[in-house]
Structure formats: structure tokens, C-alpha cells
Amino acid sequence: MAGILNQLRKSKKQVMFVNHRIPPADTRSLELQAAKEILAEVFGAGPEDVDGMIQARLAELRGVY
């Protein structure tokens, strides 16, 4: 860790830390977006395919209950 901090100090780049709260609704949408991106990367699918996968899974879950 100290090595990284020393490199940052020597670097001309600036590091910016953001410290603010995100409302819970926004957090959920960010989590959903991240999940969609992970699914797309893992399965090599496009955004519309990922939406279809999610909708199909929700339909399965609705049928179970």
C-alpha cells in the first residue's frame, strides 16, 4: 500500500475522492445496471439479450410461487 501511495505522490495525476450519499433508489438502479453489465460480459450477450434473460427468470420465479 505504501508503494502505491508513494507512486501517487510522485505522479502528476490528481486523485479525487468523492464522499456523498446516494439515495437508496439510485443505489438499486446502479446495482441492477452493474448486474446487467456482468451478465453481458459473462454470457457474451447484448443488452437486449440480458433484459430477456432477466424477464425469463422473473417469469420462472412467478410460476414457482
Q: Is residue 58 part of a domain?
A: yes
Where do we find the cell 443505489? 27
Q: Is residue 1 part of a domain?
A: no
- In tens, the pLDDT along 20-37 reads 776 777 788 888 899 899
- The stretches in the chain having pLDDT less than 50 are none
Euclidean distance between CA atoms 35 and 30, whole angstroms = 9
Q: Total structural domains in the chain?
A: 1
Q: What is the pLDDT of residue 26?
A: 79
Euclidean distance between CA atoms 41 and 38, whole angstroms = 5
> Which DSSP helix (H) or strand (E) runs through 42?
helix 24-43
Range of the domain at 44: 22-65
Q: Is residue 61 part of a domain?
A: yes
Q: Is residue 17 part of a domain?
A: no
Euclidean distance between CA atoms 5 and 49, whole angstroms = 42
C-alpha cell recorded at residue 56:
425469463
- pTM of the predicted protein model: 0.53
Euclidean distance between CA atoms 39 and 37, whole angstroms = 5
Q: What is the pLDDT of residue 2?
A: 61
Q: What is the pLDDT of residue 5?
A: 67
